Structure 1
Amino acid sequence: MVYQLTYRRPSHVPSSRESISGEEKQKSINDSISSGSSCMSCGIPEALSFERIISGGPCTVRDFMNYLKYIEHAAENLQFFLWFRDYSARWENLPESEKALAPEWTRAQAAAEATGNVQGRPKRVDAQVAAILKNTDFADGAPKAAVDRADPFHTPSKTSEDDRHDMMSEGGSSMNEKTFGSGYTHHGLAEKAFDDAGMKWKPFTAQPYREEIDRIISIYLAEGSPRELNLSARERTAVLHALQNTTHPTAFRSVITTVEYSLRRQAHPNFIRWTICNGNRPRVVFARGLGIAGIFGGFLADLLITLSHASRPWRVIPFLCWFIGIATLIAAWKGMCVVLHGLHHRHIRPWELFSDDPEDVMDEKLLSQESFISQSTNSFEDDPWVARYHKRNVIRKVFDRQIWVEEPALRQIQDTIFLQALLGAFVLSCIFVGIFCAVPRGNLY
């Protein structure tokens, strides 16, 4: 079974920094969800839709994560998206008494942040009000009194080192080290992120999941963080101000919209386009070379026959060379090797080659909640497989190990492309052979 012969695989979507408003991104996401995101006009069948992949379809989140990490170099988007889904689910299970400690960050507050009219930022005081408050604790010239009134216990401000020392206090060091890792650098990074945004860091609060939020800030939102998201300065400032006030999931509204838009509109189509390819780059280049060689062989055979005393029917014989060469070239141009497709196989990815079980190359822990708050980066240049794969010679790469293509929808796409290649090759071969048959004999030998 194949799709329509007019099927086209998803086009490559380049990474873009175009200025698109949050409303436009959200509308695009909603349209994508309502239409299934997988309309065949986009080249993505329902079985390979974004929702099916995220929910654990045959093309799994693990495959998507591998692609984003090793090909797109943007795994942080999916990692943050999966963490937010998990965080939102955990938030819904909290008791109402704990939810009440972190109020929802409304769209009105987010809009005020976007326009700069944010509660908690310095505001210009009216002249008459300033005159009334003159020589009082609330005047601009009495910051110490205002601080004392706000903090009647005169609690001294803490540095990041003080915070770290408190967390290492007796009875709590082992638990914190197990939960957050050694060093607690997320506190310093979170504090720096707020300082860079001109805000005061609030490390201690009764709001639920505050420690986890601070860690997420240090990993995904702070500038120079291990998995820094590609956010604009306005988006970063807006989410930090929201997180300064609440740990409610709505505080991430603008950021999660940007991340999901990037995943749906750029990463997902590119992932499907890449998954359709059943051969590695050396194999595809080799297949293109064979296709060109077949075309050249057909052209040369027809040319020699045309220049000889042979009759016209002999000029049809090179049709086979034309057909095989053109079909191989068309398929290879779309990233497919016809030989691998005939076996319904694909090459094992480079990062899978040196694992005992290619299907289990990525530990499922990588997709666990703990992995989303890990301080490790997504860099893989120092992974052992990189050096080992580069040492393999080209011939060995061309004939690397293969595995069965399990996803039926993916095989249908490959069948469709293969059939398109055959039909295209048949038509073009008939045209080229017909041209040579129309040319008079050369009678040169």
Structure 2
Amino acid sequence: MVLSLTYRRPSYVASSRDSMSGDEKQKSINESITSGSSGQSHGIPDALSFDRIINGGTCPPCTTRDFMNYLKYIEYDAENLQFYLWYKDYCKRFDALSETEKALSPEWTAAQAEAEATAGQGVRRKKVSPDVAAVLEGTDFADGSAKPFDTEKRDPFNDPSRTPSSDDKREMMSSDYGSSFGDDNTLTGSTPYSKKADEAFEEAGMKWKPFTTQPFRQEITRIITIYIAEHTPRQLNLSDRERTAVLHALQNTTHPSAFRNVVNTVEWSLRKQSHPNFIRWTICNGNRPRVVFARGLGVFGIVGGFLVDLLITLSHAGRGWRVIALPLWFIGIATLIAAWKGMCVVLHGMHHRHLRPWELFRDDDEMVDDKSGFSSDTLVSTNSNSYEDEPWIAKYKKRFIIRKIFDREIWIEEPALRQIQDTIFIQAVLASFILSCIFVGIFCAVPHGNLY
């Protein structure tokens, strides 16, 4: 079964720095989710929707891992998906905490986020009621809720004489991400994560330290040094206002809501730009040398049909002989149309695709493991997304062009993708048949040349 014959594959979406507000992006995301669940959206069927790919409801070559590889090797924007997957996992782990632990990190409301973004810099002081002021009189907390954290000296949670509680020990040992921190507490050289995070806070105009007893505080510090702060290994494409606002929020709480605006920006980019481009790219079943080769064959077939009809027309042969060029016209036009959309009709006939360059030099066992989800270590790794030193690059460059054209093939497992390719193939065949009949009809209408 194929899609509608009026189907059009997703258009390419150019990268841009959008000026939409957080609320506008959230509204756009909600509209995208609604439209994606009610029918085909912008050339992407429901079976290949963003949510199905992220939730593991698709088969190769449309899995989350394939999406990640596309963003890393083709679009150079893998940090968005890496952060988004980490955030989804973090929300699940935070929700699994006890109510007592959750109370240490209250929700960061939309009103607070907007106020901090508007303020730009500095920490807003909260008014203290007279009753509370009377109770706190003579203590470090007498000047307000934010005042005690203006300096390290006045932070009761940083008191060296304070005995660590069981919560503190659990946070430092953190079974969830223990393997990610371990003994390696440095981002580059000997610079600790906490120091890098402090530098990020200082650049945003914040001098006081965050609460140290909140759940996952060490993990949040690591995330700041990987995705949020400037000049980090996987720095997100955030505006100064967005970066300052999220740092303000993370000083106050480790609740997932502190990332609200950042997640909106990342998810909007993934849904509106990266996902359509990924589906468009995945529809291509051949590598670039194979597609160029297919286009050349299409042009050769068209030129061959033209020459055959021209020679017959210039001769004494009857008009009926001019139909003999129809197969050449038909094959050439169909091949060219399919190749123009990134498809090789030969590969499509077997529902095969070429292995990607980064897939060619891996063992079969590695490819099976590659279909699985992402580990915590991968998503909070301090490694950048640069791949220039990966060994497959040099190996692939050494391959001869003929070998690239006839590279290894693999069966396409995703039914929805095969359905899209079947539709494009039928469109190419129908268009080719119509155009071939028109061209042959034109030659049949031309009088005899009688030149030989």
Q: Distance in 2 between matches of 1:416 and 1:152?
A: 66
- Please tell me whether residue 74 in structure 1 is matched to residue 81 in structure 2: no
Structure 1 letter corresponding to 2:16? S
Q: String of CA shifts for 1:338-380, please: whole Å, max 9, x gaps.
A: 0000011110111110112177276478711121111011111
Aligned residue in 2 for 1:126: none
Q: CA deviation at 1:304?
A: 1.2
Contact 1:62–1:362, Cα closer than 8 Å, also in 2: no
Q: CA deviation at 1:148?
A: 10
Instruction: Give structure 1 stretches of 5+ with no counterpart.
Output: 124-136, 157-166
- Please tell me whether residue 64 in structure 1 is matched to residue 67 in structure 2: yes
Q: CA deviation at 1:244?
A: 1.0
Q: CA deviation at 1:23?
A: 1.1
Aligned residue in 1 for 2:411: 404
Aligned residue in 2 for 1:115: 118
Contact 1:277–1:336, Cα closer than 8 Å, also in 2: yes
Aligned residue in 2 for 1:105: 108
Q: Distance in 2 between matches of 1:427 and 1:293?
A: 19
Contact 1:38–1:49, Cα closer than 8 Å, also in 2: no
SS at match of 1:35: helix
Q: CA deviation at 1:18?
A: 2.2
In structure 2, the CA distance between the partners of 1:66 and 1:153, relative to structure 1 (3 Å rule), is closer
Q: Distance in 1 between matches of 2:156 and 2:344?
A: 75
Work out which of the residue numbers 241, 255, 263 in structure 2 matches 1:256. 263
Aligned residue in 2 for 1:205: 212
- Please tell me whether residue 243 in structure 1 is matched to residue 266 in structure 2: no
In structure 2, the CA distance between the partners of 1:151 and 1:367, relative to structure 1 (3 Å rule), is closer
Contact 1:365–1:371, Cα closer than 8 Å, also in 2: no
Question: What is the aligned-residue RMSD (CA, Å)?
Answer: 2.8
Q: Distance in 2 between matches of 1:430 and 1:153?
A: 83
Q: CA deviation at 1:47?
A: 1.0
How many residues in Structure 1 have an aligned counterpart in Structure 2? 413
- Please tell me whether residue 42 in structure 1 is matched to residue 45 in structure 2: no
Q: Distance in 2 between matches of 1:248 and 1:384?
A: 40
In structure 2, the CA distance between the partners of 1:231 and 1:400, relative to structure 1 (3 Å rule), is same
Contact 2:180–2:377, Cα closer than 8 Å, also in 1: no
- Calculate the TM-score normalised by the size of structure 2: 0.85
In structure 2, the CA distance between the partners of 1:379 and 1:432, relative to structure 1 (3 Å rule), is same
Aligned residue in 1 for 2:327: 320
- Please tell me whether residue 17 in structure 1 is matched to residue 17 in structure 2: yes
Aligned residue in 1 for 2:421: 414
Instruction: Give structure 2 stretches of 5+ with no counterpart.
Output: 127-139, 161-167, 188-192
Contact 2:10–2:276, Cα closer than 8 Å, also in 1: yes
Q: Distance in 2 between matches of 1:242 and 1:81?
A: 18
Aligned residue in 1 for 2:181: 179
Q: String of CA shifts for 1:192-241, please: whole Å, max 9, x gaps.
A: 21121111252661111000000000000111100111111111111111
State the percentage of identical aligned residues. Answer: 68
Aligned residue in 1 for 2:343: 336
Q: Distance in 1 between matches of 2:303 and 2:152?
A: 87
Aligned residue in 1 for 2:396: 389
- Calculate the TM-score normalised by the size of structure 1: 0.86
In structure 2, the CA distance between the partners of 1:318 and 1:246, relative to structure 1 (3 Å rule), is same
Q: Distance in 1 between matches of 2:384 and 2:115?
A: 34
Q: Distance in 2 between matches of 1:72 and 1:366?
A: 21
Contact 1:191–1:201, Cα closer than 8 Å, also in 2: no
Work out which of the residue numbers 205, 221, 224 in structure 2 matches 1:217. 224
Structure 2 letter corresponding to 1:228? Q
In structure 2, the CA distance between the partners of 1:43 and 1:230, relative to structure 1 (3 Å rule), is same
